[in-house]
Amino acid sequence: MSDHADIDAFIDAAAPVVGIEIPQASRADVRTNLEIAMNMARLLEGFPLDERTEPAPVFTP
Amino acid sequence: MSASPSQSTCTQIAADVHAGRVTARAVAQDALARIARLDPGLGAFTHVAAERALAQADGIDARRARGEALGPMAGAPFAVKNLFDVDAVTTLAGAKMMETQPPAGADAFLVRKLVAADAVLVGALNMGEFAYDFTGENAHFGPSRNPHDPAHMTGGSSGGSGAAVASGMAALSLGSDTNGSIRVPSSFCGLFGLKPTYGRLSRAGTFPFVASLDHLGPIARAVDDLALAYDVMQGADADDHAQAARPFEPASPALASGLAGLRIATAGGYFASGADPAAYEAVARVAKALEVSRSVDLPEAGRARAAAFLITMSEGAALHLDRLRTNAAAFDPDVRERLMAGALAPGAWATRAHKFRRWYREAVLRVFEHTDVILAPATPCRAPRIGQKMMTLEGKALPVRANLGMFTQPISFIGLPVATVPVWTEGETLPIGVQIIAAPWREDIALRVAKALEDMGAVRAPIAPEPHP
């Protein structure tokens, strides 16, 4: 399956779970934005990080 | 004193009011008259606080008449992005759907600080909806327009904050900067802007966007004014839990101490490609004025930008999820579609981005072991035209909205302090900005370099000429 089709299927499955409705007119732009994000995530995942690297925000009670 | 008293800098206005050369009321009246004349063509203000401004100005003049001390910003007219709470005014955060919300019950912390210094609030300013914007456009309230050429963008999301100061309707404005929203309008509108270190200034009393990345700061036409406002706005505030425990560290006392001892370099690698030549020419001019020839690399800056993007879409969507569920049609379409995508993004993406943030912070802090100041473009181009969707950079067609923050995002991602300085090229009607980036908590150094450049005449922030009727 292409990324494009995967994202469409993902939107169809995830939107009702999250509880939002994606109007047909918004569909293409939502897909484009998710596609950009997916590529950003792949870029990040291509960088090796030590498993023990803590996420940046530290909550100070 | 200028013939038009509100057109001076904050420090000059305060000196004139202190000395009795002008009253605070005359300055406020002048600013309000200018807003009434120019704002219909610029779209900067969503609320003009005329009554409040005149009452506050009268209070300042009465205190002076009684021989009482006045604050360091006495009479200086300022305005705030409309995500700042202003007492008795509804906080819009650029969103039409917020108009039904009750008015704020008090001023935001930073507004209170400026008012305590006797700066005079003249209004609230237009912005990109919910601050998810680099253009200054707004589907509901109309675009804020660039005073240097109203057919062009102010940049965003603090668009009104840029337009108000560049047109001389206010001497100072406050904006917010999550990914570049102070620095992009400062670049496009030809102004000095300060994005302080993450955690330095309290964000209490403002509408949030991305808690992990949100900063607040001033925009002005003079570096003295940035430093003064920054000094005045410092102070511990238990209401912002992300505020760092830092002592009062004013920038003004050593502002004019020059460049001696500072190790300055330009940012290479990621920051040296992918933009319009104007962006590099601006950095080269500033580097030449500072006699800088060295360059440094901020490792993995492209990935830093990607990580900032993912955290922004994820946290932004979480903030607005209820509104997306119940009132999606009321959003600016350009904002809604990005928030919807963010609402669907897997949580692992944002967590990965936060882990990378830790790595990147440490890598960049190592650069600051041998460098005090890094110069980088603020924007990849001068202000695009309002409504422009695509731009060509190095032969590549790119969407405008997604790319105006390409050079600001990797810097705010780890909260570094930045002063943006405006560069003008002969024959060009629009300016472009350069980021002066310092190590965490060294706003004083970034402002010192900005001040030195201003004193040399290498950077400047003139009021835009008024349009001829």
Contacts of A43 in chain B (CB under 8 A): 302-303, 306
Of B8, B157, B161, B187, the active-site residue reads B157
Residues B223-247: pLDDT tens digits?
999 999 999 999 999 999 899 999 9
What's the pLDDT at B468? Answer: 67
Q: What residues of A are in contact with residue B351 (Cβ under 8 Å)?
A: 55
Buried b (16+ CB within 10 A) or exposed e, B326-355: eebeebbebbbbbbbbbbbbeeebbebbbb
Active site residue B186: no
Q: Is the peptide bond before B257 cis (omega within 30 degrees of 0)?
A: no
Rg (CA), chain A: 16
Find chain A residues with C-beta within 8 A of B212's C-beta: 56-57
Chain A touched by B341 (CB under 8 Å): yes
Q: Nearest 5 degrees, angle CA B260-CA B266-CA B267? A: 140
B113 is catalytic: no
What is the tens place of the pLDDT at every residue in B329-387? 999 999 999 999 999 999 999 999 999 999 999 999 999 999 999 999 999 999 999 99
Burial B146-171 (b: 16+ CB within 10 A, else e): bbbbbebbbbbbbbbbbbbbbbbbbb
Contacts for A8 with CB less than 8 Å, ≥ 6 apart: A31
* Closest partner CB to B344 (pick from A11, A29, A47): A11
> ipTM above 0.85?
yes
Residue of B nearest to A41 (CA): B349
pTM of the complete model: 0.97
Residues of A in contact with B309 (CB under 8 A): 36-37, 40
The answer to whether residues B383 and B146 touch, using CB atoms and an 8 Å cutoff, is yes
Give pLDDT tens digits for B104-117. 999 999 999 999 99
The token pair that represents B342 in the structure block = 């963010």
pLDDT tens digits, A7-57:
999 999 999 999 999 999 999 999 999 999 999 999 999 999 998 888 876
Query: Who's near A2: CB < 8 A, 6+ residues apart?
Result: none
pLDDT at residue A1 is higher than 50: no
Instruction: Please state, in angstroms and rounded to a whole number, the distance separating the CA atoms of residues B386 and B155.
Output: 10
Query: Which of the following is catalytic: B181, B186, B314, B412?
Result: B181
Element (H, E) at B124: strand B120-125
Look at A29 and B321 and tell me if their CB atoms are within 8 Å. Answer: no
CA of A32 vs chain B CAs: smallest distance (Å): 9
A8 touches chain B (CB under 8 A): no
Q: Do B271 and B407 meet the contact criterion of CB atoms below 8 Å apart?
A: yes
Is B57:B75 a contact under the CB 8 Å cutoff? yes
Across chain B, mean pLDDT equals: 97
User: Is B266 within 8 Å of B375 (Cβ atoms)?
Assistant: yes
Structural domains for chain B: 7-456 (3.90.1300.10)
Mean pLDDT of B155-184: 98
Q: B-chain residues within 8 Å CB-CB of A29?
A: 333, 337-338
Residue-range domain boundaries for chain A: 3-45
Distance (Å, rounded) from C-alpha B349 to C-alpha B373? Answer: 31
**Chain A contacts in chain B segment 379-408 (CB below 8 A):** 402
pLDDT in tens, B263-311: 999 999 999 999 999 999 999 999 999 999 999 999 999 999 999 999 9
Mean pLDDT of B149-178: 98
* Residue contacts between A and B (CB atoms, under 8 Å): 99
CA distance B309 to B406: 10
* DSSP SS3 for B29: helix
* Averaged pLDDT for residues B189-197: 98
DSSP for residue B421: E
| Residue whose entry in the numeric block shows the structure tokens 């759907």 | B97
Residue range B430-434: mean pLDDT, rounded: 98
- Are A55 and B321 an interchain contact pair (Cβ–Cβ within 8 Å)? no
Alpha carbon distance B192, B460 (integer Å): 8
Asked if B344 and A14 come within 8 Å (Cβ–Cβ), the reply is yes
A49 touches chain B (CB under 8 A): yes
Chain B contact for A23 (CB, 8 A cutoff)? yes
Nearest to B199 by CA among B269, B125, B249: B249
- Burial label, B6 (beta-carbon count in 10 A; 0-12, 13-18, 19+): buried
pLDDT digits (tens, 9 = 90+) for B141-150: 999 999 999 9
Chain A residues within 8 A of B358 when measuring between CB atoms? 53-56
Alpha carbon of B17: minimum distance to chain A alpha carbons (Å): 44
B81 catalytically annotated: yes
Q: How far apart are CA B281 and CA B427, in angstroms?
A: 14
Residue-level pLDDT at B1? 54
The percent of residues in chain B predicted with pLDDT above 70, rounded, is: 99
Task: Judge whether B309 is closer than 8 Å to chain A, CB to CB.
Answer: yes
